[in-house]
Amino acid sequence: MPNFPQAVLFCCDHNAVRSPMAEGLMKKLYGQRAYVQSAGVKNDLEIDGFSIAVCAELGIELSRHRSRSFDEMIRDGEDLGAYDLIIALSPASQRQALELTKTSHVEVLYWPIFDPTAIGAGREEKLAAYRQARDEIKARLVERFGAA
C-alpha cells in the first residue's frame, strides 16, 4: 500500500473508548507496519469496560490500556510533529490536534465516529452500540489503509 504512515496517533475526548479501540484495531490489522498510539483531550476516565469487551471479541486486548492526554504526551517529551498522521475521532480532539501541530507537517484527519457511551439502556443495547462504533472504525481503517 503506497503512503502507509510510519506513525499514527488516534485521539478522542478521554482516550477511554474510541481512540483505544482504533489503536487496538490498527495494531491487530496491520501489526508492526506503523507505530500506533492514542491520546485524549483529557485523561479523566479509565479504559471503558464495554470497549474492552467488544475488542476482546476480535482478539484485541485493551484491559491494560492506560488513558493519557495530549498534555501528558507533551510533558513526557513526545513530539506530536513526529507522527505522519493524526486521526481525530471527536470534534474537540480534532481542534486540539490541529492546534498542537500547526507548525508541523502532520496530516490531521477527522473521522466522525459517534460516542457510544450514552446509547442503550441495558447491557446488550450498550454492547450493540459499542460494536457499531468498533465496526465503523475498522471499516474506515480498511478503507484508508487497505485490507490487512
Question: 60-110: per-residue pLDDT in tens?
Answer: 999 999 999 999 999 999 989 899 999 999 999 999 999 999 998 899 999
pLDDT of 3 higher than 50: yes
With 70 as the cut, is the pLDDT of residue 2 above it?
no
Say whether 51 sits in a helix, a strand or coil. helix
Domains and CATH numbers, the chain: 7-145 (3.40.50.2300)
> Is 90 exceeded by the pLDDT of residue 132?
yes
Q: Cell numbers 478521554 label which residue?
A: 14
85 bridge partner residues:
8, 107
pLDDT (0 to 100) of residue 1: 47
List helix spans (H) across 8-66: 18-30, 49-56
Q: Is the CB of residue 38 less than 8 Å from the CB of residue 23?
A: yes
Q: In this structure, are residues 83 and 63 in contact, taking their beta carbons and an 8 Å threshold?
A: no
Tell me the average pLDDT across 30-40.
95
In whole angstroms, give the CA distance from residue 25 to residue 105: 25
